[in-house]
């Protein structure tokens, strides 16, 4: 009951302050979003954005105190730069303050600790109001008021405040003291870096029935949790890993609720920027506060795909005696394609690729996802979709012998292995068996020839018949 009464009192105080004519200080020039004639937002991958807010504002000659409202609540004020595009000569900044202590009932009461307020009580029978002045002694966990003859807590009624402190704003505001040589309307541009704006790439791919083609659509997912809106903004996105100096103590913020909204499909034009890639949306878009929005990035159809079943080993069992190394080992499923031709051949920003395939009734079913890094054109995109249900492997060490060595630097081991690949599918498959070989190694014998995929890797392409099995055996000598 006390908390409810306190909230009612404080809300009434806000209403009283508004009716009392609360506004910016009388010598302040206030600029709101209604003065804005353009805004440009460049968003980077790592929760960073560059905002350029252009407004038309009437300035006085010489000294001006400008309150630039509706800036990002996560602005980095040390990066703010204000320019006069109309009359740059004689335009000089003197001081700026970022007021982000926002007006709430709790904050207002906190600012009035040690100051006087008016307690308004209403007689429930007659409706008559009585007013009494009191000093706020404390506001932590409740209000403590000192009257002329007593101290009370949880006072019924409501509190009326004579005004709102200048530093307590209803919206984040950058207050700038400046000198201006020419009076009249000026075109000003405020640029600053801010957190709370981020983007990522999301891709949706659909495999055909034969798993040898896919259709790929890329989307840019934008999230605005900066505490400000950016209406009809010119939007650009930078893909790449931009180096940033990290703050010693990161600022914390409250979690915000996001509303998802899909934008109309619109291709984005890309270009090189320094050692990164810049994507520009070809029309203005609105980034509403606390909103997630998707914008079309790219589209490609019937992209050739290579599918691979992969069984990978480990190098630890080449230097010791182990025997059984695993039963019913899962075989990984990968798909890969080249980023060139057929609507591709463009830089792909890092993100998650989600892959679907239609079932027998024509319904698209989710079959796996993987994350890709920034991928230049002509590079290969490789995705792990999961583990094959119908393919398994049994692996065991069939022989082990130390041929030489008395210390850790001159050991020579020879060991033999057997891998049984089983296929429960109705069609034959080829499984890639990839074994990491430690030290200086040489293949002594094998049931089928290997290829040397890298200096420390042996690789076999093993054909496994439908509803059958194939055994791969090999003997290897390694020297440490």
For residue range 176-215, what is the model confidence (pLDDT) as tens digits?
Answer: 999 999 999 999 999 999 999 999 999 999 999 999 999 9
Higher pLDDT, residue 86 or 164: 86
Highest-confidence segment of 28-32, 171-175, 236-240, 461-465: 461-465
Q: pTM of this prediction? A: 0.72
Confidence of residue 157 (pLDDT cuts 50, 70, 90): confident
Report whether 36 contacts 187 (CB < 8 A).
no
pLDDT at 1 over 70: no
pLDDT in tens, 105-145: 888 888 899 999 999 998 888 889 999 999 999 988 788 99
**Domain 306-339+380-479 adopts which CATH fold?**
Immunoglobulin-like (2.60.40)
301: Cβ–Cβ under 8 A, 6 or more apart, which residues? 215, 216, 342, 343
pLDDT in tens, 314-367: 988 998 899 899 999 999 999 999 999 877 888 899 999 999 999 999 999 999
User: Quick one: pLDDT at residue 271?
Assistant: 80
Report whether 330 contacts 388 (CB < 8 A).
yes
Cα 243 to Cα 451: distance, rounded to the nearest angstrom: 40
Cα 277 to Cα 91: distance, rounded to the nearest angstrom: 35
Q: What is the sign, positive or negative, of the torsion defined by CA atoms of 158, 163, 168, 170?
A: positive
Out of 142-151, 156-165, 403-412, 436-445, least confident range: 403-412
Q: In the predicted model, what is the mean pLDDT of the chain?
A: 87
pLDDT at 399 over 80: yes
User: Quick one: pLDDT at residue 264?
Assistant: 40
Alpha helices in 175-273 (DSSP H): none
Report residue 26: phi and psi, to 5°.
-60, -25
289: Cβ–Cβ under 8 A, 6 or more apart, which residues? 224, 226, 227, 228, 229
Q: Which two tokens stand for residue 70?
A: 């509706």
Where are the chain's structural domains?
2-102+168-193, 105-160, 197-304, 306-339+380-479
């Amino acid at each position: 009951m006390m908390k409810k009464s306190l909230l009612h009192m404080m809300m009434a105080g806000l209403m009283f302050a508004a009716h009392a004519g609360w506004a910016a200080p009388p010598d302040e020039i206030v600029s709101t979003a209604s003065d804005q004639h353009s805004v440009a937002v460049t968003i980077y991958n790592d929760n960073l954005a560059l905002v350029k807010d252009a407004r038309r504002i009437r300035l006085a000659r010489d000294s001006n105190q400008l309150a630039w409202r509706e800036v990002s609540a996560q602005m980095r004020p040390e990066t703010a730069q204000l320019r006069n595009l109309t009359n740059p000569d004689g335009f000089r900044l003197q001081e700026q303050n970022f007021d982000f202590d926002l007006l709430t009932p709790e904050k207002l009461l906190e600012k009035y600790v040690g100051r006087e307020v008016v307690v308004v009580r209403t007689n429930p029978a007659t409706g008559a109001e009585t007013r009494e002045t009191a000093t706020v002694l404390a506001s932590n966990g409740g209000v403590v008021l000192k009257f002329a003859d007593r101290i009370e807590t949880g006072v019924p009624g409501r509190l009326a405040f004579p005004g709102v402190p200048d530093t307590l704003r209803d919206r984040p505001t950058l207050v700038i003291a400046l000198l201006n040589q020419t009076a009249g309307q000026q075109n000003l541009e405020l640029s600053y870096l801010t957190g709370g704006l981020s983007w990522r790439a999301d891709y949706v791919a659909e495999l055909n029935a034969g798993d040898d083609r896919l259709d790929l659509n890329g989307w840019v997912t934008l999230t605005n949790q900066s505490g400000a809106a950016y209406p009809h903004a010119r939007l650009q996105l930078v893909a790449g890993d931009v180096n940033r100096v990290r703050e010693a103590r990161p600022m914390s913020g409250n979690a915000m609720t996001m509303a998802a909204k899909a934008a109309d499909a619109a291709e984005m034009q890309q270009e090189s920027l320094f050692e990164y890639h810049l994507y520009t949306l070809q029309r203005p878009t609105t980034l509403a506060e606390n909103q997630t929005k998707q914008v079309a990035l790219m589209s490609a159809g019937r992209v050739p795909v290579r599918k691979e079943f992969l069984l990978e080993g480990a190098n630890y069992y080449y230097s010791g005696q182990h025997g059984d190394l695993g039963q019913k080992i899962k075989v990984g499923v990968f798909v890969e394609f080249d980023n060139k031709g057929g609507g591709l051949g463009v830089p792909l920003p890092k993100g998650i690729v989600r892959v679907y395939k239609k079932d027998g009734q024509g319904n698209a079913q989710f079959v796996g996802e993987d994350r890709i890094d920034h991928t230049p054109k002509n590079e290969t995109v490789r995705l792990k979709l999961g583990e094959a249900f119908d393919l398994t492997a049994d692996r065991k060490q069939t022989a082990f012998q130390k041929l030489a060595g008395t210390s850790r630097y001159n050991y020579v081991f020879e060991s033999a292995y057997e891998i049984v690949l089983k296929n429960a599918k109705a069609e034959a498959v080829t499984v890639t068996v990839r074994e990491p070989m430690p030290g200086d190694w040489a293949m002594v014998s094998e049931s089928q020839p290997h290829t040397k995929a890298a200096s420390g890797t042996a690789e076999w392409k093993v054909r496994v018949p439908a509803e059958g099995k194939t055994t791969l055996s090999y003997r290897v000598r390694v020297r440490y």
